[in-house]
Amino acid sequence: MTHRLLMLPGDHVGPEILAEADKLLRCLMADFGLDAELEYANLGGCAVDAEGEPFPRSTQRLAEEADALILGAVGGPQWDGLDRDRRPETGLLAIRSALGLFANLRPAILFPELVDASSLRPDVVSGLDILIVRELTGGIYFGQPRGIRTREDGTREGYNTLVYGTDEIERIGRAAFEAAARHNGSLCSVDKANVLESSELWREVMESLAPAYPNVRLSHMYVDNAAMQLVRDPRQFDVIVTGNLFGDILSDCAAMLTGSIGMLPSASLDERGRGLYEPVHGSAPDISGEGVANPLATLLSVAMMLRHSLDEGALADRVERAVGRVLADGHRTADLAGPGVASIGTVAMGDAVVNAL
Ligand X SMILES: CC(C)[C@H](C(=O)O)[C@@H](O)C(=O)O
| Closest residue to ligand X using C-beta atoms | 89
Q: Does 119 bind ligand X (CB under 6 A)?
A: no
CA 210 to chain CA mean position, Å: 26
Catalytic residue among 67, 191, 192, 238: 192
Closest to ligand X by CB, 194 vs 215, is: 194
Q: For ligand X, which residue of 80, 126, 161, 195 counts as binding (CB under 6 A)? A: 195
Beta bridge partners of residue 103, listed in sequence order: 135, 269
Q: Which phi and psi angles does 246 have, rounded to 5°?
A: -60, -35
Per the document, the length of the chain is: 357
Q: Does 248 qualify as catalytic in the annotation?
A: yes
Minimum CB separation of residue 237 from a copy of itself in Å reads 14
- Give the interface segment with ligand X, choosing from 86-94, 159-167, 170-178, 337-345 (CB under 6 A): 86-94
Going by their DSSP bridges, the two strands 36-40 and 147-150 should be labelled as unpaired
- The per-residue DSSP string of 72-102 comes to EE---GGGTTS-GGGSHHHHHHHHHHHTT--
Rounded Cα distance between 283 and 166, Å, is: 35
CA 4 to chain CA mean position, Å: 21
Q: Does 194 bind ligand X (CB under 6 A)?
A: yes
Minimum CB separation of residue 256 from a copy of itself in Å reads 4
Closest to a copy of itself by CB, 103 vs 257, is: 257
Minimum CB separation of residue 263 from ligand X in Å reads 16
Closest to ligand X by CB, 113 vs 191, is: 191
State the binding partner of 343 from ligand X, a copy of itself, none, CB within 5 to 8 A by kind: none
Q: Does 248 bind ligand X (CB under 6 A)?
A: yes
Question: Among 252, 302, 143, which residue's Cα sits nearest to residue 240?
Answer: 252
Going by their DSSP bridges, the two strands 186-191 and 217-222 should be labelled as parallel
Write out the binding residues for substrate. Answer: 96, 106, 134, 224
Write out the binding residues for Mg(2+). Answer: 224, 248, 252
Write out the binding residues for NAD(+). Answer: 76-89, 282-294
